Structure 1
């Protein structure tokens, strides 16, 4: 039996039980015998529209709700952003609760101006060295090291002057909006 069709019975049973109904309760409402409903739920009877329509109507669901949703494409296909010498590559789907990016920072002599905003950030240095200015203190984060901080503290992140740095950055939703979105005229987006 097709695996999608095999899931109709168990999903029908789960919907009935979620409402606290017995086989007799739902069968009576749908105008069929409890035996027919039992065989549908156990997969011993072939599902047909004539049987499913009254059942789903009384359960307050669509027939589609009885079928599995095909898995979505898990690959992340979001555009890489280039801004102020940084390359920002998204590593999570756009609507993920937590956003992760691989950010390449260009070498620089000085830290950019510190900012504050709502959120949290976690970073891991893949290569190079990162200058994390945090609440008036400068920390050098080396390859293989990680840092976590509340972004309500004044902070800035940059590579040191000895070369670029690649970082995995994980942001809460509010932190991601501040750090990675390109406003009009602030940079270019490329594939």
Structure 2
């Protein structure tokens, strides 16, 4: 092996740090190896070896893992943070509402700006329950927040936080759209962004 083929010590240290980082990301998101295998198409045994350091990650594997974790490759390998820190979000449309991601790779919490479409005051607010914790802040419009048997109307500048194991839901309090900031734990982010309509 030539000098050019020999991994640099810094590269070795970087790759050695991938295993615990992958394990920590999966744990924080509340995923099992089987869950991750289903979402990435990578076998459970390969994922287990990646997290134990028994297998060096390839670019193909890292790209698939980064997509699930909504992280950059630099985040997975612990590269120095010299990239542009600005977020360039792509709007996501779910259940008739627009969701604009404001965070890029935080494994503990995801921030979104949400535009809630106009909603008839006579219609009920759809509720869901799941593990996690949510925080919302009203930017414009008026927002109905349903929590179990209770319902609240939030005005611009008001905030609310709640345990999402309580059935909950939000909707505009009028026929005009409303805008909110929403901080979601990983469990809540999966429900809002990746869950199928009507499925928790």
Asked if TM exceeds 0.5, the reply is: yes
From 154, 165, 168, the equivalent of 2:167 is 154
Matched, 1:130 2:143: yes
Partner of 1:62: 9
1:97 corresponding residue in structure 2: 108
Tell me the CA shift for residue 125 of structure 1: 0.1
Kept in 2, the 8 Å contact 1:111–1:156? The answer is no
- What is the aligned residue count? 126
- Of 81, 85, 91, the match for 1:74: 85
- Say if 1:117 and 1:182 are closer, same or farther in 2 by CA, change over 3 A: closer
Question: Could you say if the C-alpha distance between residues 69 and 103 of structure 1 is closer, same or farther in structure 2, counting changes exceeding 3 Å?
Answer: same
In the other structure, the counterpart of 1:20 is none
Whose radius of gyration is greater, 1 or 2? 1
Contact 1:131 1:140 in 2 (8 A): yes
- TM-aligned CA distance change 1:98 to 1:161, over 3 Å: same
Structure 2 unaligned spans of 5+: 15-78
Contact 1:121 1:149 in 2 (8 A): yes
Deviation at 1:96, TM superposition (A): 3.6
Runs of 4+ deviating beyond 4 Å: none
SS at match of 1:174: helix
**1:63, 1:159 → 2: CA distance?**
52
TM normalised by structure 1 equals 0.58
